[in-house]
Structure 1
Amino acid sequence: MPDEEPQHRHILTFNFRQGRNKPRHDEAFARLWPRYGLDWEPDEGRIDFAKLFGRTAPVILEIGSGNGEAAAAMGDADRDRDLLAVEVYPQGIADLMDRAEARGLTNLRIYQGDALPLLWKGIAPGSLDEIRVYFPDPWPKKRHHKRRIIQAEHVTTMAGLLRPGGVLHCATDIADYAEQMLEVLTADAAYENTAEGYAPRPDHRPVTKFERRGVKADREIFDLIFTKR
């Protein structure tokens, strides 16, 4: 008898604030979504990355790509690996697609929606080379901390999707969230910290507009880089 699929408690980890598309956003979606978009539903099962990208290469998952500034720059600098970006806001996705087109990227695809069902049902175990979670929604009120994406259950799921030696790289400018990230990741035996505590910001992670805003507000930036044992 096959094992039953694990039951997950689905709590939204993002605070969806619907903005208004500008004409350029609508134009980008109409023109570029067929090239860069991934239309996937949970009942469709695991994504075939070789088919999606048209080649067999290591795959990176970025959860919450925002306006795509980091995703586009890192995808451009690392064309031997493929990048699946996840974002809920159409304006950010449109910006990322524009950036990708301007750079001539062929190693980028974008999923619009909640990352959790994708983690649970869309990605085969051991198929990811790296997972990036940069500046996720901090949910600052203590009663909302359960909505943060970096929770024990979620990082255990992520570990199962990484190959041995694969990387989970998180970054935040919220000190108490950084402490939670460090505590949760250190407690999970599937991971090994690459640093003593927080890691130096690696040169390959660009400083984005969002990060510069945090620095301007005198918030410290925390990077956490863990590998799958």
Structure 2
Amino acid sequence: METMDQVRQPGVFSHVRRSVRMTVGQQRVWETHWSELGRKLEELPAGTLDLDAWFGRTAPVVLEIGSGMGEATAQLAEAAPGVNHLAAEVYPAGLGQLMLAVEKSDLGNVRLLHGDALDFLRDHVAPDTLDGVRIYFPDPWQKKRHNKRRLVKSPFVSLVASRLRPGGTLHLATDWADYADEMLEVCTAEPLLANQYDSWAPRPSWRPLTKFESRAQVEGRVCRDLLLTKSQSTKVTPSGW
């Protein structure tokens, strides 16, 4: 297993750096609801975050890494009110848009993290904690010379697996064929995870069809899902963590 230092590879982040300005509505909801719903990574105290206290209840927790504008997050949260949904995103505009959806649908089971999810997992989530991790359409870094910047690499998958509870799931989706192949190879090699299917999973009917995915389909890119489960019988804490 890799050490903590190896998880943070040069140039590897759970996001792409770009500037997105907030709308008036997003700014309003940020000012109104952020103190209740959100946390900034750099402001979290050292050590494990008490997720039950943050949500105000004990329930299964699913972390979505790179929630974008939050359209899938909001739909999934509304469809599963008994689950605590934690959306990690670095762009305030995306978090603001998600808070607008939370406000509109009165969703009490959504919380938002502003910051890099990799650092959050490593520094603030205890092993065997999360019921699920979702990573939908991470940046493919499609130029070959940039492939090394992709998020879904062996050290990262090992970190995610360690934070899942036994029986917890990792759900990946991408519309880039070579990245899908890389995801399958890396996740299959992780000893704590077992693929729920022989290869790709059928597209789950419950995963919302976003504008992003619809555009990929129009452009002729096939979207692939990968569903993996953490072993029920193996509880491993990697050395050095």
TM bracket, shorter-chain basis: over 0.9
State the Cα distance separating 1:7 from its structure 2 match: 2.2
- Count of aligned positions: 225
Superposed, 1:1-229 pairs within 5 Å as 6-8=4-6, 9-10=8-9, 11-13=11-13, 14-41=15-42, 44-229=46-231
| Large movers: runs of 4+ above 6 Å | none
Higher relative contact order (CA 8 A, sep 6+): 2
Q: Kindly, what percent of the aligned residue pairs are identical?
A: 45
TM-score, with structure 2 as normaliser: 0.90
Task: Give the partner amino acid of 2:17.
Answer: F
Task: Give the partner amino acid of 2:145.
Answer: R
Task: Give the partner amino acid of 1:61.
Answer: L
Residues 41 and 116, structure 2, Cα contact 8 Å, conserved in 1: no
Distance (whole Å) between structure 2 residues aligned to residue 30 and residue 180 of structure 1: 40
Please tell me the root mean square deviation across aligned C-alpha atoms, in Å. 1.3
State the Cα distance separating 1:27 from its structure 2 match: 1.1
Task: Give the partner amino acid of 1:68.
Answer: G
Q: Compared with structure 1, are the counterparts of its residues 203 and 69 closer, same or farther at alpha carbon in structure 2 (3 Å cutoff)?
A: same
State the Cα distance separating 1:160 from its structure 2 match: 0.4
Stretches of structure 2 that go unaligned for 5 or more consecutive residues are 232-241
State the Cα distance separating 1:167 from its structure 2 match: 0.2
Task: Give the partner amino acid of 2:90.
Answer: V
State the Cα distance separating 1:43 from its structure 2 match: 5.2
